[in-house]
Structure 1
Amino acid sequence: MTSSYATYDTNAPRRPINLSLNSDLIAQVRSLTPNVSGTVEELLASYVQSARSQRDEAARQLNSVLDAVNALHSVHGFLSDEFSTL
């Protein structure tokens, strides 16, 4: 992987896809870069990295909450245990 966003194999074969994009936006992009495909690829790699980081952070936060709930339960038990008729 040679990309600064080491989230995908940059040596994997390329394949064409169809996208429907705003024509004005594409015209502006083409005036700014000679390689629209490369630019889109970099932006997608950045998005993947960001989305994975957000997902991982959400999982860490959830695990932290679950750890706190489990610790609370181990010390105090469930509130419902006080009212259970089972």
Structure 2
Amino acid sequence: MLTRYREDAPKKPVNCSMNSDLVARAKAMGINVSAAAEAGLLTAIEQAERRRIQEETDALMKFWNEHRAQFGTPADEYCEI
């Protein structure tokens, strides 16, 4: 898990619209809709963080590869690549 958050943070009331059929089915099955929504939000945040980290890593690797192609590295004189 990438996301760190305070699990003991106070709850904040929010208004959101959800598919009424899904809400009714969840309640009929005894699913805590708030907890399920919170878990889904955490999953979405983690996915966004992973995408952001991957984009940053891709940009860094592109820069490094271009820099290495243009200037080489100190190790180049000691090994063949």
- Please give the range of the TM-score, normalised by the shorter of the 2 chains: 0.7 to 0.9
- The higher-RCO structure (CA 8 Å, 6+ apart) is 2
Task: Indicate if the aligned counterparts of 2:26 and 2:32 stay in contact, CA closer than 8 A.
Answer: no
1:63 maps to 2:60: yes
Per-residue CA distance 1:56-86 (angstroms, 9 max, x = gap): 11211111011111112225xxxxxxxxxxx
Unaligned runs of 5+ in 2: 73-81
3-state SS of 1:62 partner:
helix
Unaligned runs of 5+ in 1: 76-86
3-state SS of 1:26 partner:
helix
Structural mapping, 1:21-32, within 5 Å:
21-32=18-29
- 1:49 to 1:28, Cα distance in 2 relative to 1, 3 A: same
CA-atom RMSD in angstroms: 2.0
Q: Percent identity?
A: 25
